[in-house]
Amino acid sequence: MSSPRDGVPCGRYEWRVRPWIHDAVLYQVYPRSFCDADGDGIGDLAGIAARLDHLAWLGVDALWMSPIFPSPLADGGYDASDYLSVHPELGTVEDLAALVDTAGRRGMRVLLDLVPNHTSVAHRWFQRSRSEVDGPYRRYYTWAPGAADGGPPNNWRSRFGGPAWTRDGHGGEWYLHSFLAQQPDLDWRHEPVRREFEAITRHWFEIGIAGFRLDVCYGLVRDPLLRDNPPARPGDPPEWVRLGQRLTGNLNQPDAHPILARWRRLADGFEPPRMLLGEVAGPYFGTPEAPELHLALGFPFRSIAFDADEIRATIERVEAQTPSHAQPAWELSNHDEARVCTRWGAGDVRVARAALVLQMTLHGTPCLYYGDELGMTDVTVPAERARDRARLHDRRPPRDPARTPMRWSGGPGRGFTRPAMAGATWLPLGDGTDVAAQRADPRSTLHLTRALIALRRRRAEELVWGPQELLDGPEGVLCYRRGRATLIAVNTTPEPAAVQGWRGPLVIGSDPDRRGGADGALLLRGHEAAVIAAAE
């Protein structure tokens, strides 16, 4: 079968050769929680390398690792103090090179998470920026005098609560931080900052990193006049409502686009071209002539319920803002929210399984969060073991329950760490399912995930490159067609439902007990999803 990668016309993408990431399945690893090779209770790069068998067996194409750079960990590594090396707890640059090499030999690529919006206060650029008021690093960050009443320069709020400004002793001015005070915002309007990131980008691409996920890249530039943000209104995004203001001065400024287009030219200049995935809310794909991101990892399912209407509306919105030279990306979980089995399923694995069918059959690139292939639920983390200092500052529940170690097997340490460290892992291991138990059970969620990934390949002409049409269905059931003849129904209700008019054999289903396909009607159990090969 041909694919657009070969430059052969296919589906709606007749005109262009697609980048590999458009027919890939991505896998997000939280590095501290995947596998601990050196036995200190914290996962590391050597541990990830040791577990590549699992990823190869699953059939994923690339792994994206949350930040691995040196960091004081005020925000779990999203506060880097050096972009050119590796946090000593995780390993060394040599370990990373070895991981890239081992993954490459198995046909998998490695993507890093880069945080260009802000550094840690411990970064040498900021150290010099705050202490040398007339020095070359001052303009790397946004400094401003206070307001006439002695308060911060404007009303902007930090996304982790409180003002987005902190006054610094040395110069008496205030510096901007869209997140914690330990995460000062870089000023991307300042050309030397852009050049620093060009050098950082080259550095990692030259050692074989296949691309970056760019954290908060829709907030890279802010209103240069630092005008106050207007108050939030009902119906605004949940974050704006929570902060009580519209982040119009901080996000989605038009000047972010040329920055990303320039970054893309740099990535395209490598052979093979490197990929740019962005944490964005909105269209950041540029044009075919001046492209920006390859994929938007904006987590559109983040704050909706497992509800056919809400999922449908989300798919329509995302598709509408994705031009045809780009495509959506679909995450069910990530390190910022409760896992899908907990968030959507309240622990009911049938929901997690149906959601996996959805994720792997939608038009777009699926990005699987480690542990979701097991239907893992959040782990209760006692307050005294909480590590997410950013959320503790915010007084919102810490994000730790979705960041706990992967469980590979039974017994103490669960294959994540050595048995003696079982009670001393960086976050609790929790109880419940593990990889070995699910490998031994052909009905498991792990086997379902693997079969879904294999199906994407087998039916790529339909499930990857084919058009997508949302269909009418019974209430609470999301129905869509991929390609010419692949029908998918996802029952988001706990009640049985019948999709009328469907006929054809079962291709795959979320319920391991399902046998038949559709014979004039598809009869679904509660929270069941099924893929049908439509009869001609």
Contact 138, 158 (CB under 8 A): no
* CB nearer ligand NOJ, residue 137 or residue 179: 179
Q: Which is nearer to ligand NOJ, 78 or 465 (CB)?
A: 78
Distance CA(347)–CA(366), nearest Å, equals 22
Which CB sits closer to ligand NOJ, 73 or 507?
A: 73
Q: Which of 44, 61, 75, 292 binds ligand NOJ (CB under 6 A)?
A: 75
Q: What is the DSSP string of 188-256?
A: TTSHHHHHHHHHHHHHHHHTT--EEEETTGGGSS--TT-PPPPBP-TTS-HHHHHHTB--TTTS--TTH
Place of tokens 């509306």: 313
**Which residues, 467 to 486, sit near ligand NOJ by CB under 6 A?**
none
Closer to ligand NOJ by Cβ: residue 390 or 499 = 390
Kindly tell me which of 62 and 390 has the beta carbon lying closer to ligand NOJ: 390
Q: How far is CA 526 from CA 355, 356, 444, 485, in A?
A: 13, 15, 18, 24
Query: Nearest distance from residue 216's CB to ligand NOJ, in Å?
Result: 5
Count of positions on this chain that bind ligand NOJ (CB under 6 A) = 10
Q: How far is the CB of 239 from ligand NOJ (least distance, A)?
A: 11
Question: How would you write 368-388 as a 3-class SS string?
Answer: EECCHHHCCCCCCCCHHHCCC
- What is the rounded CA–CA span in Å between residue 107 and residue 58? 13
Catalytic residue list contains 279: yes
CB neighbour list of residue 273: distance below 8 Å, 6 or more residues apart: 19, 267
The Cβ-side half-sphere exposure at 146, using a 13 Å CA radius, reads 13
Q: Which residue has the tokens 């693997």?
A: 450
Alpha carbons 330 and 316: distance in angstroms, whole number: 13
CB of 372 to ligand NOJ, least distance (A): 16
Among 13, 34, 78, 284, binds ligand NOJ (CB under 6 A): 78
By CB under 6 A, residue 90 contacts ligand NOJ: no
Q: How far is the CB of 78 from ligand NOJ (least distance, A)?
A: 3
Catalytic member of 279, 331, 400, 511 = 279
Consecutive H or E run containing 343: helix 340-343
How far is 508 from 514, CA to CA, in rounded Å? 9
Closest approach of ligand NOJ to the CB of residue 470, in Å: 29
DSSP assignment letter at 432: S
- Those residues whose C-beta lies under 8 Å from the C-beta of residue 390, and which sit 6 or more positions away, are 74, 75, 76, 78, 160, 179, 180
Q: In what order do the strands lie in the sheet with 174-176?
A: 143-144, 174-176, 165-167
Q: Counting contacts by CB under 6 A, is residue 279 touching ligand NOJ? A: yes
34, 69, 126, 179: which one contacts ligand NOJ (CB under 6 A)? 179
Q: Taking the complex as a whole, how short is the minimal distance between the CB of residue 26 and ligand NOJ, in angstroms?
A: 15
Q: How far is the CB of 32 from ligand NOJ (least distance, A)?
A: 13
Q: Give me the least distance between CB of 13 and ligand NOJ, in Å please.
A: 30
Query: Of 75 and 528, which CB lies nearer to ligand NOJ in the complex structure?
Result: 75
DSSP 180: -
Residues 371-390 that bind ligand NOJ (CB under 6 A): 390
Of the pair 23, 215, the CB lying nearest ligand NOJ is at 215
Give the residue at shortest CB distance from ligand NOJ. 78
- Which one of the listed residues 215, 388, 394, 462 is annotated catalytic? 215
Q: Is 216 in the site for ligand NOJ (CB under 6 A)?
A: yes
- Please give the residues from 306 up to 335 whose contact with ligand NOJ meets the rule CB under 6 A: 335
Rounded to an integer, what distance in angstroms lies between the CA atom of residue 330 and that of residue 323?
16
Question: Of 361, 323, 367, 365, whose CA–CA distance to 480 is shortest?
Answer: 361
CB of 278 to ligand NOJ, least distance (A): 11
Instruction: Find all residues with CB under 8 Å of 457, minimum gap 6, and list them.
Output: 59
Closer residue to ligand NOJ (CB): 115 or 121? 115
Site string for ligand NOJ, 334-353 (x = CB under 6 A): -xx-----------------
Residue from 215, 394, 400, 528 binding ligand NOJ (CB under 6 A): 215
The residue among 151 and 282 lying less far from ligand NOJ, judged by its C-beta, is 282
Residue 115 found at the interface with ligand NOJ (CB under 6 A): yes
The token duo for 250 is 């901080």
- Per-position x/- string for 229-268, each x denoting binding to ligand NOJ as judged by CB under 6 A, each - no binding: ----------------------------------------
For ligand NOJ, the binding residues (CB under 6 A) are 75, 78, 115, 179, 215-216, 279, 335-336, 390
Residues involved in catalysis:
215, 279
